[in-house]
Amino acid sequence: MKLDRRHPRYASLLQREALVKGYESGVTALAGLIAHGRGEAFDYLLGEVTTPMAEEAAEAAAALLLLAEKPVISVNGNTAMLCPRELVDLAETVGAELEINLFYRSEERARKIAEILRKNGAKEVYGVAPENEIPGIASLRKLADRAMILSDVVLVPLEDGDRTEALVKAGKKVIAIDLNPLSRTSQAADITIVDNVVRAVPLLRTKAEKLKGKKKEDLTRILESFDNRRNLEEVTKHIVNRFIS
Ligand code: PTJ
């Protein structure tokens, strides 16, 4: 179907179309479409814009990624369709590895996602045939490649609570991107950017570009002044206020 740019929900329709295409080509899980619908509902409540709270969280996240020694960006079937180029560009800006991690894992899906990332400029992609495990995860999300095992900071866009909690337990700093401020992932992460991945990933890169020349002490100061709990409370209040006003 040809989408009309003047349609008031053009951006949203584009995302839906990308995910439907992803499902038809075996990249996105069927449940990924449902997960996106839940995300859309929260995005609607946020006004489909990046809030000042998300800006603040993205700045802290960019500082953390730049301070990291071995950062990793986790990629699944939704993000591979929604923002592949942006993920690759962000990885390059902050010196992170890209690792595929799937809830509905099959090697074929992982290979297709790796192919998409490579087409978008990734030189190395981890997670196609992972041989290690992160303890404490009931699903196949437990599988981890070398990059994830060695990582100190992990960016998890569209994650489930189990793995977020397990990664924190394994001593990693976790940055989540999740439109639902109440999800277990949002609550368990060290930094949560409550925003749509299609806006949050490029925003993170812009913030990282701006902070790249800063001294370690300045980055640490940005990080230490960020309070995830307070940020999540402010986002939740923002949603409630939009509802009642
Ligand atoms: O590709 P796979 O096999 O790893 O499967 C991926 C899904 C998405 C099915 C899997 O990760 C899953 O079940 O996710 P959940 O537990 O439904 O969580 C998805 C979370 O992401 C929810 O809190 C949604 O609100 C949020 N979300 C959905 N779409 C977006 C989003 N957050 C940011 N941007 C989005 N576009």
Structural contact between residues 155 and 65, judged by C-beta atoms closer than 8 angstroms: yes
- Token pair in block for residue 160: 């489930």
For residues 25 and 200, give the distance between their C-alpha atoms in angstroms, rounded to a whole number: 25
For residues 76 and 148, give the distance between their C-alpha atoms in angstroms, rounded to a whole number: 14
Evaluate whether residue 80 is within a structural domain. Answer: yes
pLDDT at 10: 79
For the chain, 245 residues long, the average pLDDT of each consecutive 10-residue run is 76 93 98 97 94 98 98 98 98 98 97 98 97 95 97 95 96 98 97 98 98 97 98 97 88
pLDDT at 185: 97
CA 230 to chain centre: 20
Give 123-136 pLDDT, tens digit per residue: 999 999 999 999 99
Evaluate whether residue 130 is within a structural domain. Answer: yes
Evaluate whether residue 147 is within a structural domain. Answer: yes
Evaluate whether residue 19 is within a structural domain. Answer: no
DSSP letter for each residue of 190-222: SEEE-S-HHHHHHHHHHHHHHHTTS-HHHHHHH
Instruction: Point out the ligand 1 atom lying closest to the alpha carbon of residue 141.
Output: 4
Here the CATH number for the domain that contains residue 201 is 3.40.50.12640
Q: How far is CA 93 from CA 32, 58, 80, 192, 203, in A?
A: 28, 14, 18, 20, 12
Instruction: Point out the ligand 1 atom lying closest to the alpha carbon of residue 185.
Output: 23
Greatest alpha-carbon span in the chain: 52
Evaluate whether residue 111 is within a structural domain. Answer: yes
Evaluate whether residue 4 is within a structural domain. Answer: no
CA 232 to chain centre: 16
Domains of the chain: total: 1
15, 158, 167, 201: residue to mutate for ligand 1 pocket, most atoms within 8 A of CB:
158
For residues 46 and 239, give the distance between their C-alpha atoms in angstroms, rounded to a whole number: 6
pLDDT at 137: 95
Which protein residue has the closest C-alpha to ligand 1 atom 32?
178
Evaluate whether residue 28 is within a structural domain. Answer: no
Which protein residue has the closest C-alpha to ligand 1 atom 23?
180
pLDDT at 74: 98
Structural contact between residues 179 and 196, judged by C-beta atoms closer than 8 angstroms: yes
Evaluate whether residue 166 is within a structural domain. Answer: yes
pLDDT at 8: 75
Which 3 state secondary structure label does DSSP give 58? helix
pLDDT at 4: 76
CA of 11 to the centre of ligand 1 (A): 18
Domain that holds residue 228: 52-244
pTM above 0.85, yes or no: yes
Is residue 45 classed exposed, middle or buried when 0-12, 13-18 and 19+ CB atoms within 10 A define those classes?
Answer: middle
